Chain A
Amino acid sequence: MDILKGNFKTKKTVEAPNDEDADDLETRFERDALKRLGGSIAFVSKKRVEWDLDEK
């Protein structure tokens, strides 16, 4: 790598991916996998059946 370093110029500025981007990708993948672990439907604590919600 040292042989190549600095002996040419690119037309466009190239930014190397940093560790933060790599973390983001990993985090995003993990977040997506976590979402897919969810249950079938929601649960609402301390509730049973609401026959009429007009009064709420």
Chain B
Amino acid sequence: MTEKAPPSTDRRAEHGSLARELVAQMGDFTWHRVGEMVIDNFERNLPKLTSGQSLAKLRDVSVGQGDGAIILAAGPSIHRQKPLEKILAAGFKGALIATESSMAYCLRNDVVPDLVVTTDPHSDRIVRWFGDPDLTSEKLAQDDYFRRQDMDEKFADEIKTNELLLDKVNTHGKDIKIALATTSSQAVVDRVLDSGMQIFWWSPLVDDPDLPNSRSRDMFKRCRMPAMNAGGNVGAAAWMMADAVLGKKHVALTGIDFGYYGDTPYRNTQYYHEALDLVGEDRLDEVYIHIYNPYLETWFYTDPAYAWYREIFLEMVQDADCETYNCTEGGILFGDGIHFVSLDSFLTDHA
């Protein structure tokens, strides 16, 4: 069977009809996907919250110098653009805030980020970014999520990468500050505790706390940890940390593509199996939206989840106190309120 590839250039804009309909329902789909995990994880974590501090305490801690911050996420651009090389060469002294998914990339380059952020409650995938002490060949055979995707290419060699990451995180854990969600999985929380990371707990807002019977308000009353809008994904949560928690004024994004390079086979996208189940091989073009990035004069494409993240981010950036610079140099995140500039340009002005 030949592998389904994205359509040719002149037909790209025609596709994605179903995806555009799905984006409007992503809030509901997300709650269906993670709601039960969020509640179960929160209940399980309650006795563990005495280990570590509240996110509120992070405001009293120095996280990078000055008013600049760079977010490092694990989009497909990081192994094409290599942002850490540029950051290190420029001697950037501001806050380096890494999503858990980019922590391995940082540690491999002997960089301990000033803050790591994690939010996804998934029971066994997210712990992989920390090194999974219980990873087995049997578990790998059941889930090709990491080796299939165009993210951190080192994760294609899964067992070896896991062993290296276990060692790196064990070595540097005590030096790492982590903004840990009260709704993170047991595997992630145990791994964070075992590696000795400095924990700052927070709860993701799961509904409007102003509404009667709000789950978010109930969670606060039970754990007393601040509730933060995670913006649908960990990259947005890391940016929110920089803006609303640390009060940084100039925040650069790297590795936040919210999409795929135009030549990426559909099979290498995050929800390929789900898309295949939904519409079948012949109709895959309907599930992906192709977007022309005018700054890079290049086509990228996205799926309903990433397209939803983009919509959310463009809304959140309107209420931000900081200036936001997208230095990803790839992807689909551009629009009002975002300076789409190169990382070198940001570093020249803010290093």
The answer to whether A49 touches B27, judged by C-beta atoms less than 8 angstroms apart, is: no
- B interface secondary structure, majority: helix
Which residues of A have CB within 8 Å of B221?
Answer: 53-54
Q: Which of B214, B220, B305 touches A39 (beta carbons < 8 Å)? A: B305
Known contacts A42-B206, A49-B244, A56-B217; A37 and B278 CB within 8 A of each other: yes
Given A35-B33, A50-B209, A41–B119 Cβ distance below 8 Å?
Answer: yes
Q: Does A34 contact B22, Cβ atoms closer than 8 Å? A: yes
- B183 neighbours in A (Cβ, 8 Å): 41
Q: Which of B193-201, B228-236, B260-268 contacts A (4 or more CB under 8 A)?
A: B228-236
Indicate the member of A38, A45, A53 with the most B CB atoms within 10 Å.
A38
Which A residues lie within 8 Å of B208 (CB)? 44-45, 47
**Residue among A36, A45, A54 making CB contact with B315, cutoff 8 Å:** A45
Q: What 1/0 mask marks residues of chain B from 207 to 229 whose CB sits below 8 Å from any chain A CB?
A: 11110001011001100001111
Name the contact of B278 in the complex, choosing from A34, A40, A51, A52 (C-beta under 8 A): A34
Query: Do B305 and A47 have beta carbons less than 8 Å apart?
Result: no
Is the C-beta of A8 less than 8 angstroms from some C-beta in chain B?
no
Task: Give the interface size bracket for A toward B.
Answer: 20 to 34
Q: Could you tell me how many residues of chain B have their Cβ less than 8 Å away from some Cβ of chain A?
A: 58
B349 proximal to A (CB < 8 A): no
Contact B229 A37 (CB under 8 A): no
For chain B, residues 1 to 51, give those with C-beta under 8 angstroms from any C-beta of chain A: 22, 25-27, 29-34, 38
Contacts of B227 in A (CB 8 A): 49-50, 53
Residue in B30, B183, B234, B236 with the greatest tally of chain A CB atoms within 10 Å: B30
B contact residues around A49 at 8 Å (CB)? 226-229, 240, 244-245
A30 CB to nearest B CB, Å:
6
Which of A37, A42, A54 is in CB contact (< 8 Å) with B207? A42
> Is B205 in contact with chain A by the CB < 8 A criterion?
yes
A residues with a Cβ closer than 8 A to B are: 29-30, 32-54, 56
